[in-house]
Amino acid sequence: MRSFPLRPLAAGVLLALAGNAAAQEATLAPVVVTATRTAQSPYDIPAAIDVVTTPPDGSLDVNLSERVQSIPGIIARDRQNYAQDAQVSIRGFGARSTFGIRGIRLYTDGIPATMPDGQGQVSHFNLDSSDRIEVLRGPFSALYGNASGGVVQIFTADGTETPELRFGVAGGSNGNFRSSVNARGTEGPVDYNIDFSHFRTSGYRDHSAARRESGNAKIGWKIDDDSKLTLVVNTVDVPDAQDPLGLTRAQVKADPQQVASVAETYNTRKSTDQQQAGLIWDQRIDSANSLRVMGYYGQRSVTQYLSIPKATQAAQPGNSGGVVDLDNEYGGGDARWTWSDTLAGRPFEVAGGISYDNQEQHRQGYNNYIGNTLGVQGAKRRDEIDRVFDFDQYAQATWRVAEDWSLMGGLRHSEVRFRSTDRYIAAGNPDDSGTTKYSATTPAFGVMWRAAPWAHVYANWGRGFETPTFSELGYRADGGAGLAFDLKPSRSHNGEVGIKLQPSDHTEAGLAVFRADSDDELAVATNLGGRTTYQNIARSRRQGLEASFRTELAPNLDFVASYTRLQATFRTPFLTCVSTGCSTPDTPVAAGTRIPGVPRSNGYAALKYGADRGWQVGLDMNAMGSTSVNDLGTESAAGYALFGLSGGYIVDDGPWRINAFARVDNLADRHVVGSVIVNDGNGRYYEPAPGRTFLVGVDLRWR
């Protein structure tokens, strides 16, 4: 399938809108804060922002990919590999990442989950205790600083007025099992939401078993009518998650459940342990002024066993080994003042603040062998202290200049500094210490016209930038010692126009057309001895459209659909390496070649029947267009459309609410590639998705 067709979706949207043409002014959508940093309806914001507030029925609800399917512009792929974090991209930004999440900003309750260098993770996102997830796309994302191709923010729910205990359990194919317990409520001035969840899987593929324990607590103390203190604590532990690595096209065709042989030879695996705490103080000074101060601190340790061959490590004195050992300490804070009043007699709101984030990482490397024993920690090959911090200042304002017109604008200045101190200096491995810094000022501006109570038209423009991460700065393409000081940050010019429609209380739709032109996009330069180096590409472009639609077709019968069409290409030619062992870029990439990891299109549609109690039935479809896997564009993962069916029964009687559910995914039992590993030097680009799978579970709530 080359792309998900737009015409059926557009026809459905137009028919539904026509049927509601005589409707009255629409009910406002849920309030969001990510775009403006103040509580507003997304319908009144001149930017593409969406929110999901309820968990999907009949799902494990352990992966971000399960929550954001209905939002256009964002792709969150479940890799079926818990040794690697989910793949998340927004409008093509972040798609090139082979591990971790880059190019977009991640937050949990306002606390960064993206480090100052631009690399982040969502492994500690606790969905079980969440209230909503907000996804911001387009130019205004740049007001969050470095690597803001988009913003994803998860918010923990506040404690309920009536205390509740919640229990959940679900299990199914491939040894998937999830259990959770949650307590939330209010005691005097204190509200709380405390959650613990357990997940384990045998894995769809061989050598892909994993276990994850996740805890999250949010405790709020209302000091008085004008001030509140909130403590957010979370932890995640993923011990020895097996890594099956990717497969070649031939291997996928022969057996999609198989594992790359070197994965078993070296027992590739990863352990992650993280604890984090944040404190937020909200203070209303008077009717117009308020202050918010946030501070946080965390620790994250990662041990990963790679499949770099013994011979490669032994032959290269400068090789950092096949075992990565990272100990991270990180923290920072943000202080923001908000003024909300009138300017020239019209509503006006301005927010300004400063933020500081710091990460100190002790990076060590070891051989992944001792003698002839493979997959164990051997001799030390790397030892360095890496530090990166940012210091940003920002301001943004919203002004309703007339009854039907609003303006929103902002500016952020960012400075990011890197320092690496090499503590392992030996023959053939010189001192790699060094420092570098990047800075940028990123403006954004938008305008909204309320053409009618049910139709809002907007346009916006802005600039953004993305620094190299420590992983990309770590090695020079020329093989010399020290950081890759020649790498530049990628800088982008972004524009968007769109329309938001709410013709009735039960129908809403949106359409956005966007383009982002980037200078100095990062791409692979060399692959040598397990080291990947990077280079800057002069120009690249991401452009396309997003459409979304949801309506109530009949009482208790809801329909939702979304579609994204995206063209992401390199605009200038360059040379690259395409195989392991390549020390000098020697293969030309033509201008117009697709940026890898970005599908041509993707879409989602779901039909659900059910009320607050009684029978529940749902049918959904996920579609993905073809996805290029390397800079040359010589291979790609084929597109697909997968269908899922869910059902259940809800009993809500007295203090008890019982939701029993079942689900079947991939009804047609199709064999598809669910995610790709961009520019893999061994040609193992493909990570297959499961065939038909089954899930049953029950969630209990006692009030």
Q: Is the pTM of this model over 0.85?
A: yes
Neighbouring residues of 460: CB distance < 8 A, sequence distance ≥ 6: 46, 47, 138, 139, 140, 408, 444, 445, 446, 447, 495, 496
Instruction: Give the DSSP letter of residue 594.
Output: B
- Please state, in angstroms and rounded to a whole number, the distance separating the CA atoms of residues 104 and 470: 16
For 387-436, how does the pLDDT look when each residue is reduced to its tens digit (9 = 90+)? 999 999 999 999 999 999 999 999 999 999 999 999 998 887 788 888 99
- pLDDT exceeds cutoff 60 at 9: no
The angle at the Cα of 47, spanning 46 to 51, to the nearest 5 degrees, equals 120
Task: Let me know if 15 is exposed, middle or buried by CB neighbors in 10 A (0-12, 13-18, 19+).
Answer: exposed
Q: What's the token pair of residue 98?
A: 């082979």
Residue 316: pLDDT band (50, 70, 90) is confident
CB 76 within 8 A of CB 604: no
Going from N- to C-terminal start, the domains of the chain cover 7-702
pLDDT of amino acid 31: 86
Residue 29: pLDDT band (50, 70, 90) is low
- Please state, in angstroms and rounded to a whole number, the distance separating the CA atoms of residues 645 and 45: 35
- pLDDT exceeds cutoff 60 at 11: no
Instruction: Give the DSSP letter of residue 204.
Output: S
pLDDT of amino acid 21: 35
CA distances 79 to 76, 210, 291, 424, 566, Å, are 9, 13, 41, 35, 21
Task: Let me know if 39 is exposed, middle or buried by CB neighbors in 10 A (0-12, 13-18, 19+).
Answer: exposed
Q: What's the token pair of residue 527?
A: 């692959």
Task: Let me know if 609 is exposed, middle or buried by CB neighbors in 10 A (0-12, 13-18, 19+).
Answer: middle
Lowest-confidence region among 246-260, 422-436, 599-613: 422-436
pLDDT of amino acid 473: 87
Half-sphere exposure for 316 (CA within 13 Å, toward CB): 20
The whole-number average pLDDT for the span 504-519 is 96
Neighbouring residues of 76: CB distance < 8 A, sequence distance ≥ 6: 63, 64, 65, 67, 68, 69, 86, 87, 88
Average per-residue pLDDT for the chain: 91
CATH class of 7-702: mainly beta
- Please state, in angstroms and rounded to a whole number, the distance separating the CA atoms of residues 184 and 191: 8
